[in-house]
Amino acid sequence: MKKLITSLIYLFTVIVFAQDTYLHCGRIVDVENGKILKEKTIVVSGTSIKSIEDGYVNGGSANVVVDLKNKTVMPGFIDMHVHIESESNPAAYIQTFTLNEADIAFNSTVYAKKTLMAGFTTVRDLGGSGVNISLRNAINKGTVEGPRIFTAGKAIGTTGGHADPTNGMKKSLMGDPGPKEGVVNSVDDARKAVRQRYKDGADVIKITATGGVLSVAKSGQNPQFTTEEIKSITSTAKDYNFLTAAHAHGDEGMRRAVLGGIKTIEHGTLMSDETMDLMIEHDTYLVPTITAGKEVAQKATKPGYYPEVVAKKAIEIGPKIQSMFARAYKKGVPIAFGTDAGVYPHGENAREFVYMVEAGMPIMEAIKSATITNANLLGMDDLGQLKKGFIADIVAVDGNPDKDVESLKNVSFVMKEGKIFKEE
């Protein structure tokens, strides 16, 4: 009986006097102003930031105090281009026929946790089998540990295009997939495909405006939608409040995507100066995915890793993304951070910061692209900054990222919505 009474008193105390968390931060990145602030205390109450105080405030015995005095503290990172269901491996093409939906689901939970532990508290998943929608729901319910997910469900392509799920199959298996499967060939098909994504529970719309590298198809860059089809997609997406994204390597396809109203261009490998000007004019963002480009080019040199038709494209396309990004950044194209994780191992998302800095973007701007910029694109006005009233997505690293970009690859503290998931 005594133990029962003690337990009830403890439970009452927890409910009535909920604990706050006091983070004693040696350095804080003020992302908005591009500054490092020293010796601050972030007070977290529930899922949000209650206040940020000067110095190291005594939290008292009733609250939790976390010592981050030797670390640099930042908002949780946001990756605008991942594929959370899968991860590149030599058997990936065979696994299309051997993995069950349950297998994909179990694997995705591992990739989700790796992503969160790397400091990426929010991601935009740009295409999978549809398991990504269920994974998002499981994470939201607390069943699975992972980042906040905004997902496209199944990406939309054209017959034989980059997102046609039957590419490379024998004729008896190809069939004739349509809008439900994410394959469109008319303005009406395009509209129906968006509505199907809404029905499925997607958050965003992703199209494949050009050929791709990893699909079993000849071209990695030809345009694959008409401008009218794209406009049908974006106008319908607007009705359902969907953010839109377009995979694009070839210039003509991305030009059509920009003119058609797409908000973010993924990869952008062969982008011309004229298309860059068009993106600036239309406030269209580039999501560069430099990491993926480097990874596929390297993997393509391994015999048998990719099918021959894929390896050829990977060697041609992959190495060109970083230099394109350098040109686009210098020209003033809006940049949003995204990596294409899944094409390379999940949890290594921060490699993108290193490549962006190598290409000429200052580290503070790179961090801003992965926080404030992406939060705004996702319509999350209370995310991406360390401010009073904002969601408590907070990460920390050893060292000074403004002096050593490599430090961002080693996140030692992760908090998402006020809950600590990693503390070293």
pLDDT in tens, 21-73: 999 999 999 999 999 999 999 999 999 999 999 999 998 889 999 999 999 99
Share of the chain above pLDDT 90, in %: 83
pLDDT of res. 1: 55
The CATH number of whichever domain residue 129 belongs to comes to: 3.20.20.140
Strands, sheet with 285-287, edge to edge from the N-terminal-most edge strand: 204-208, 243-248, 264-267, 285-287
Residues 67 and 180 in one domain: no
Region class of 376: left (phi > 0), else alpha (psi between -120 and 50), else beta: alpha
The region of weakest confidence among 50-59, 207-216, 234-243, 411-420 is 207-216
Average pLDDT, the chain: 93
Q: Which of 109-118, 232-241, 295-304, 351-360 has the lowest mean pLDDT?
A: 295-304
125 and 218 inside one domain: yes
Nearest residue to 395 (alpha-carbon basis) of 147, 72, 142: 72
52 and 124 share a domain? Answer: no
Co-location of 260 and 304 in the same domain: yes
Residue 3 has pLDDT above 60, yes or no: no
User: 3-class SS at 4?
Assistant: helix
- The DSSP letter of residue 281 is H
Co-location of 46 and 190 in the same domain: no
Q: Is 411 helix (H, G, I), strand (E, B) or coil?
A: strand
- Same domain as 197, residue 209: yes
CATH code of the domain covering residue 415: 2.30.40.10
Average the pLDDT over 77-91 and give the result.
95
Tell me which amino acid residue 149 is.
I
Residues 276 and 413 in one domain: no
Assess whether pLDDT exceeds 60 at residue 16. no
Q: Are residues 296 and 240 in the same domain?
A: yes
Q: Torsion over CA of 87, 91, 95 and 96, rounded to 10 degrees?
A: 80
pLDDT at 13: 47
Residue given tokens 């391994």 in the structure block: 302
Q: What is the mean pLDDT of residues 141-167?
A: 92
Query: Is residue 7 very low, low, confident or very high in pLDDT (cuts 50, 70, 90)?
Result: low
- Say what the pLDDT of residue 14 is: 46
CA dihedral 183, 188, 191, 197 (to 10 degrees): -40
Q: Are 83 and 198 contained in the same domain?
A: yes
| Structural domain total, the chain | 2
What is the span of the domain harbouring residue 209?
A: 77-377
Calculate mean pLDDT across residues 239-261: 97
Say if residue 347 is in the same domain as residue 232: yes
Cβ neighbors of 315 (< 8 A, separation 6 or more) are 297, 300, 301
Instruction: Kindly state the tokens that stand for 326.
Output: 């350098």
- Mind listing the pLDDT tens digit for each residue in 345-400? 999 999 999 999 999 999 999 999 999 999 999 999 999 999 999 999 999 999 89
Instruction: Out of 87-96, 137-146, 260-269, 401-410, pick the least confident.
Output: 87-96
Give yes or no: residues 33 and 122 share one domain.
no
Lowest-confidence segment of 25-29, 214-218, 314-318 by average pLDDT: 214-218
Last residue of a domain, one of 342, 360, 377: 377
Both 221 and 232 in a single domain?
yes
Q: Is the pLDDT of residue 6 over 60?
A: no
In the structure encoding, which two tokens stand for residue 143, read together? 């069943």
